[in-house]
Structure 1
């Protein structure tokens, strides 16, 4: 059974097997969590992302999908990149957001990861309302058939932490 824990803090400071990156489809870095992971993880992550773009994901990673790279300088073995939906563009399709969590856990299982740190995918610049995103994330993780032992939601501020805490109890 997967244990769900909450941490208020910086996802790039987590000591886990895999850190999940709320990436954009280009996989080449950006703002928010994506930018922070690329900055702290260093150039090895970007180099792996460029290799993925050159081989399997020439048009970018589709929304709701996930891929893994090295974690570079992070205190993790891997970064699992997932592309969340933009709330306005997707019409708030919860299945796309839930897919980010399911697909990331599937990749984690393929890698043998037992501890995985997730941000609140799509809640920053992508505009997903926090309470709804938290509900979708927690439901997707609870329903997942995974060997991951701990899913750690790492939340950047108090309001995000509260939204998840209300669901975890």
Structure 2
């Protein structure tokens, strides 16, 4: 399912993000950048050792990646040019700035992808696995943030360079939530 919003194609895809062909794949990383479980582990496994090698170089330069921030590495063997690693918030009830930090993951990922020359970007469902963010709230934050960047352009707006934003949903529940958000565009 897809729609065009302000010249950018928004796609909702059920599948494995490590197999999605795009310019930039976003990794729901942990702050160590050294791989982990879930999406993070899958991206490191599928992409191969080049990703971990670059993550180690980033760590030696700047230390860990802060929650809400993002960094870029090679995509290794993935069907993309780059991986944007972003650290989502651990959900602690919703009163500790989690929504702001999650929104920052999407903004910073798009900024880093843009700086690296990407025109297409694929997002996983950030923070909804072991970090415990409620899926519906996370989808709403992701959608609102990305849509806001598209429909409220600034002088250096993403809409002037971004051709596609894909939300890659590994499970049926996330796919249903994102499809529902996209269908609201028609109303």
* Contact 1:2-1:142 within 8 A present in 2 as well: no
Match of 1:51 in 2: 57
Could you tell me which runs of 5 or more consecutive residues in structure 1 were left unpaired when the two chains were aligned: none
Distance 1:98 1:152, change over 3 A: same
Q: How far is the alpha carbon of 1:20 from its aligned partner?
A: 0.1
Give the one of 169, 175, 181 matched to 1:161. 175
Q: Give yes or no for the alignment of 1:105 onto 2:105.
A: no
Matched residues in 2 for 1:153 and 1:15: separation? 13
TM-score when normalising by structure 2: 0.87
Q: TM-score, normalised by structure 1?
A: 0.96
CA distance in 1, matches of 2:9, 2:133: 25
Corresponding position of 2:125: 120
RMSD across aligned C-alpha pairs, in angstroms?
A: 1.2
| Structure 2: runs of 5 or more not aligned | 1-6, 150-156
The CA distance in 1 between the partners of 2:17 and 2:60, in whole Å, is 28
CA distance in 2, matches of 1:66, 1:143: 19
Give me the whole-angstrom Cα distance separating, in 2, the residues matched to 1:92 and 1:11: 27
Counterpart-to-counterpart distance in 2, 1:2 and 1:105: 13
Would you say how many aligned residue pairs link Structure 1 and Structure 2? 167
Match of 1:25 in 2: 31
Task: Answer yes or no: is the 8 Å Cα contact 2:90–2:98 preserved in 1.
Answer: no
Give the equivalent residue in structure 2 for 1:84: 88
Q: Which residue of 2 is the match for residue 134 of structure 1?
A: 139
CA distance, structure 2, for counterparts of residue 3 and residue 137 of structure 1: 15
Aligned-partner Cα distance in 2 for 1:50–1:89:
32
* Correspondence 1:3 to 2:9: yes
Paired with 2:45 and 2:60, the residues of 1 have a C-alpha distance of: 22
Candidates 96, 108, 113, aligned match of 2:101: 96
- Which protein is bigger by CA-based radius of gyration? 2
Tell me which stretches of 4 or more aligned residues in structure 1 moved more than 6 Å. Answer: none
